[in-house]
Amino acid sequence: LGFKYFGPIDGHNLPDLVDTLKHIKEIGGPIVLHVLTRKGKGYKPAEADRLALHGVTQFDKTTGAMKKKTSTAPTYSQLFGEALTEIAELNPRVVAISAAMIEGTGLRAFEKRFPDRIYDVGIAEQHAVTFAAGLATQGMKPVCAIYSTFLQRAFDQIVHDVCLQNLDVTFVLDRAGLAGDDGATHHGVFDMAWLRTVPDMVIMAPKDEAEARDMLYTAIEHPGPAALRIPRLEASGVRQARDFSRLPIGEGEILKDGTDVTLIGIGTMVDQALRVAEELERRGVKAGVINARFVKPIDSQLILERARRSGRLVVIEEHSPHGGFGAAVLECLCEAGLAGIPVLHAALPDRFVHHGSRELLLREVGLDVPALTERINAWLTALPVPALQKEEGRSGA
Question: What are the tens digits of pLDDT across the range 244-275?
Answer: 999 999 999 999 999 999 999 999 999 999 99
The model carries a pTM of 0.88
Under the banding of pLDDT at 50, 70 and 90, the label for residue 386 is low
Residue range 191-219: mean pLDDT, rounded: 97
Q: Is 153 a catalytic residue?
A: yes
Distance CA 238, CA 198 (A): 33
Cα(153)–Cα(194) distance, integer angstroms: 12
Given a cut of 80, is residue 397 above it in pLDDT? no
Q: Among residues of the chain, what percentage have pLDDT more than 90?
A: 83
Residues 38, 39, 44, 50: which is the catalytic one?
A: 39
Tell me the HSE value of 275 on the side-chain side, using a 13 A CA sphere. Answer: 13
Single out the catalytic residue among 93, 113, 117, 153: 153
242 is a catalytic site residue? no
Q: What is the rounded average pLDDT of the residues 130-142?
A: 98
Calculate the alpha carbon distances from 334 to 115, 210, 288, 307 in Å.
50, 33, 22, 12
Decide if pLDDT at 96 tops 80.
Answer: yes
Among residues 86, 125, 209, 317, which one is catalytic? Answer: 125
Rounded Cα distance between 44 and 22, Å, is: 31
pLDDT value for 57: 74
Q: Is 207 a catalytic residue?
A: no
Could you read off the pLDDT of 321-370 as tens digits, one per residue? 999 999 999 999 999 999 999 999 999 999 999 999 999 999 999 999 99
**Mean pLDDT, range 275-300, rounded to an integer:** 97
Q: How confident is the model at residue 304 (pLDDT cuts 50, 70, 90)?
A: very high
Across the range 104-132, mean pLDDT stands at: 97
Percent of the chain past pLDDT 70, that is, above it, reads: 97
How high is the pLDDT of residue 395?
A: 44
Q: Could you tell me the pLDDT band of residue 144, with boundaries at 50, 70 and 90?
A: very high
